[in-house]
Amino acid sequence: MFTKKNLDNGIPVVMEQLKNFRSVLLGIWVKVGSRSEPFDKNGISHFLEHMFFKGTKKRTATDIAFEIDSMGGDLNAFTSRENTAFYVKVLDEYIDRGIYLLTDIFMNSTFQEEEIEKEKGVIKEEIKLVEDTPDDYIHDLFSKTVWGDTGLGQPVLGRRETIKTFTREDLTGHVRKYYGTADTVVACAGNFDPDHVVGLLNNHLGGLRRGSEPKLFSPEYFRNGIAVYPRDLSETHICLGVEGIPYASHERYAVGILNSILGASVSSRLFQEIREKKGYAYSIYSFASLYADTGFWAVYAGTGRKKAVAVTELIMASLISLSTCSSKAPKSAPPPTSPLKLTLWAATSTHLPQGKTPPSM
């Protein structure tokens, strides 16, 4: 069972003791991601995440790397569309050192100009890596298709033209605006003493006083339609989805069950039909992406271009079969909360001319 306490400055700390473990994982979550970024600053949340590891007032980037390795631990971070998180995982005997290291990079990073310029090159290479990985890149393009060019439609990594413009003032301004007590949550799990952890956090994180500016998200509207992006690839990558629900919706458990039935396991309908029975795809799965006020439920498949239409039809048939089952529910059952809206994303080889859409289904 988890417990929740607040630091002296109001930051909530959510904890769960697992006494049969020998390790501790502690993370600092900030409620800002690519969704909150202006169009001309797209990618700054992720860029800033990288810069937190480039040196503090007391440690160089090399010092940080050697210190976490000396503990046999893991110090890392990630950025999503609505959150940025920093975490450390260490043996329970190193919890004091681990928290001290994590809070040092969170509170005292210097963001040196020289490191900023170097990191621009690193992130441009990261963007290229994603673009050269179609089963990864497809998800950015699908989000852009259904949400547009701003908000949830923006890529987490940003764009080349925005990355090259970032300055130290941009980074410090982003920290001042979002990295405050109102937008920060700490979570901890493993073998530890809760009072001891809260005491450590009060010592190292309690100095965070600057107020943040929590931004109310603009409503996102799911856009149905078809988008085709020709690529010189061996496979056609398909993403087909419907409008979903927010992550706090009471229907999230039902979506989890439906997702398991549709395509989240090897016994699912999609895996059995498209891979096992037909042999049309190696990778086929369904997934749900849930956000604060909206979401989508989608299916990804990678297949040969000659089988792309057949695979798409099979995916649609599976979705329709779920809808048909739900239509046979008792009349007292509540109606769906939103209409079924379909979006098809296909990254195809150059054999499909620019602007040409797949045959009507």
- pLDDT of 180 higher than 50: yes
Q: Which residue has the higher pLDDT, 52 or 340?
A: 52
Q: In what order do the strands lie in the sheet with 2-6?
A: 2-6, 12-17, 184-190, 23-30, 84-91, 74-79
Closest CA to 298 of 290, 310, 309, 306: 290
pLDDT at 210: 75
In this structure, how many other beta carbons lie within 10 angstroms of the beta carbon of residue 186? Answer: 23
> What tokens appear for 231 in the block?
């690529």
How far CA 312 is from CA of 110, 315, 318, in Å, comes to 50, 5, 10
Distance of CA 117 to the CA centre of its chain: 25
Confidence of residue 257 (pLDDT cuts 50, 70, 90): very high
pLDDT at 114: 97
Work out the widest C-alpha separation in the chain, in whole angstroms. 66
- pLDDT of 226 higher than 80: yes
Catalytically annotated residues: 49
The model's pLDDT over 127-171, given as tens digits with 9 standing for 90+, comes to: 999 999 999 999 999 999 999 999 999 999 999 999 999 999 999
Backbone angles phi, psi at 211, to 5 degrees: -75, 140
- pLDDT of 347 higher than 80: no
Buried residues in 294-330 as b, exposed as e (16+ CB within 10 A)? bbbbbbbbbbeeebbbebbebbeebbeeeeeeeeeee
Backbone angles phi, psi at 214, to 5 degrees: -55, 125
Backbone angles phi, psi at 285, to 5 degrees: -160, 160
Backbone angles phi, psi at 249, to 5 degrees: -65, 145
pLDDT at 23: 98
| pTM: predicted TM-score of the whole model, two decimal places | 0.87
pLDDT at 207: 85
> What tokens appear for 135 in the block?
């089963």
CB 15 within 8 A of CB 5: yes
**Domains, the chain, with CATH or none:** 2-204 (3.30.830.10), 225-348 (3.30.830.10)
The model's pLDDT over 28-77, given as tens digits with 9 standing for 90+, comes to: 999 999 999 999 999 999 999 999 999 999 999 999 999 999 999 999 99
pLDDT at 199: 97
Distance CA 148, CA 30 (A): 24
Distance CA 192, CA 179 (A): 26
pLDDT at 354: 37
- pLDDT of 353 higher than 60: no
Q: How high does pLDDT run on average in the chain?
A: 89
CB 228 within 8 A of CB 358: yes
The model's pLDDT over 210-223, given as tens digits with 9 standing for 90+, comes to: 777 766 667 789 99
- pLDDT of 348 higher than 60: no
